[in-house]
Structure 1
Amino acid sequence: MVCFNFGSANGICISYFLLVISCLFPLPSVAKSVNETEVQIEQAMQELLSGELRQWQQQSAIKQLDFNVQIKVPSGVKRLARCQSQPTFNSANGLPIGNVQRKVSCSDQGWSLFVRAAVDVTARLPVANRVLKRGEVVTAADLEWRSVQLGMSDKDLLTQSQQIIGQQVLRKIRRYKAIKAVQLSAPQWVNIGDRVIIEARSNGFYANMPGEALEAGGEGQAIRVKNLSSGKVIVAYPLAPGRVATKF
């Protein structure tokens, strides 16, 4: 197209020329610029991690669980064809908390790659309202419920107060932090060197005698005890602080 006029007419001619060119050679649409494979992987991993967290919430009877998942797909995914079937992910141990990495594969297109995600999780859990030191036995007064931000190291958490009350502290428990199973154990009812009462029962027969614990133990644990009446060493099981029983 040729224009002989100048000024505003020239501007009109140029605009008309660009309009014609855009019709003959349309620009790529914004929708098409979005990589379908990237979107597919993001959606699949989002569903996977969300499902794992919801399953943990249900199994652990957690009333309130909030989380945010940010998927980080590598730039190389733009060169991959969209998976015609559902992408598959490798299995992983533990909860998807903090920095997570999973391998995703597509069998029909023959590709696989690693995808990362940043997962922020907050759960309402029973926590200690004071520092609990090694050897203390946890009481109901030591606990309260709070929303706790969880990290990568927060595994095997205790989510119910009945799992905690009455247990003995093995590792220091910090105030308002999630409590882990490895931090607690059944209380030690008998310590090495303790004087104990040995109880024996069988077919209506009952007897008790003094003894000395040669090992420490909690409820149901087998420990060696010396019968101070006979001098014999026997195996007994703690029943309560200062009391053990033999089994026939």
Structure 2
Amino acid sequence: MSLLLRLLILPLALLLALPAAAKGDDAPLFEAVHAFLYEQSQALGDEVMIEVHPPAGQFPACQAPEPFLPGQRELAPGRVSVGVRCGEEGRQVRYLQAELSVFGEYPVAARDLAAGETLQRDDLRLARGDLGRLPRQAVREIEAALGQQLTRSLREGSHLLEAMLRTEPLVERRQRVVVEARGQGFRVSREGEALEAGGRGERVRVRLTNREIIEAEVIGDARLAVIF
């Protein structure tokens, strides 16, 4: 379907989706809220369903409605509160409740996976569903899980949670490591013992040969750095 045809159909689709009680003076208000939520939700998924609930009480018609998200919150699937400024200079403000359903793709296990496995692309596949029904910590992009280790086993078709993933350790506890001290115009290396495990970019404690304990960033296999 061409973009022009979509633009021609969209206002009619929004109007048909309005509650029966809003087909009169409230139609511009509801149509504005529908259009606002539709525009704001495009980055959340590739298919959006919006249901705006009529207010509990009776109010005068909203002139020149200007919808906004209260508190500058980020839009998320589920129950949504939308503020609307009405009238001259938006002096009147109303609040409507809406239900936002967003459908899109998210990664799931392509086979049964064991705890400790490092995830590769073939271990995952994309599933499609209502993103609002996923747990808050669900992983939404395959790339975010690649190279990560599972902290627990996962059955085929199950979605991933951020808490199930950890960066693959490049430094193990009690491992002999090299710590580089870096600064402008100098670099010094010292040996030490890692007191905890860590992946790339994580900071771990290290005991140097003089028994001094410092914190350094993991930069490679058994290699850490302290930047001055």
- The TM-score, its normalising length taken from structure 1, stands at 0.64
Cα distance, 1:140 vs structure 2: 1.5
| Contact preservation (8 Å) 2:118, 2:149 | yes
Q: Which has the larger radius of gyration?
A: 1
Pairing partner for 1:100 from 64, 68, 80: 80
| Cα distance in structure 2, aligned partners of 1:110 and 1:191 | 61
Aligned CA distance change for structure 1 residues 235 and 113 (closer, same or farther; 3 Å) = closer
- The residue aligned with 2:5 is none
| Cα distance in structure 1, aligned partners of 2:91 and 2:227 | 62
Asked if 1:113 is matched to 2:101, the reply is no
Paired amino acid for 1:212: E
How many percent identity over aligned positions?
24
| Contact preservation (8 Å) 1:52, 1:96 | no
| Cα distance in structure 1, aligned partners of 2:169 and 2:44 | 31
- The residue aligned with 2:27 is 39
Cα shift readout 1:34-56 (whole Å, capped 9, x = no counterpart): 65332122211111111111134
| Cα distance in structure 2, aligned partners of 1:96 and 1:103 | 15
Paired amino acid for 1:42: F
Asked if 1:142 is matched to 2:123, the reply is yes
1:96-245 map, 5 Å: 96-108=76-88, 111-130=92-111, 136-151=117-132, 154-155=135-136, 158-169=139-150, 176=157, 179=160, 181=162, 183-192=164-173, 194-200=174-180, 209=191, 211-228=192-209, 230-245=210-225
Aligned CA distance change for structure 1 residues 100 and 94 (closer, same or farther; 3 Å) = same
Mind listing any 5+ residue stretches in structure 1 that lack a counterpart?
1-32, 58-64
Paired amino acid for 2:79: N
- The residue aligned with 1:82 is 61
Cα distance, 1:136 vs structure 2: 4.4
The count of corresponding residues between Structure 1 and Structure 2 is 204
Aligned CA distance change for structure 1 residues 227 and 126 (closer, same or farther; 3 Å) = same
Aligned CA distance change for structure 1 residues 197 and 87 (closer, same or farther; 3 Å) = closer
Paired amino acid for 1:231: R
| Contact preservation (8 Å) 2:109, 2:157 | yes
Cα shift readout 1:102-157 (whole Å, capped 9, x = no counterpart): 23331438644332222222102333234667654322222111212222665576
| Cα distance in structure 2, aligned partners of 1:99 and 1:184 | 29
- The residue aligned with 1:62 is none
| Cα distance in structure 2, aligned partners of 1:41 and 1:133 | 52
| Contact preservation (8 Å) 2:33, 2:67 | no
| Contact preservation (8 Å) 2:110, 2:125 | yes
- The residue aligned with 1:16 is none
RMSD, aligned CA: 3.6
| Cα distance in structure 2, aligned partners of 1:43 and 1:207 | 66
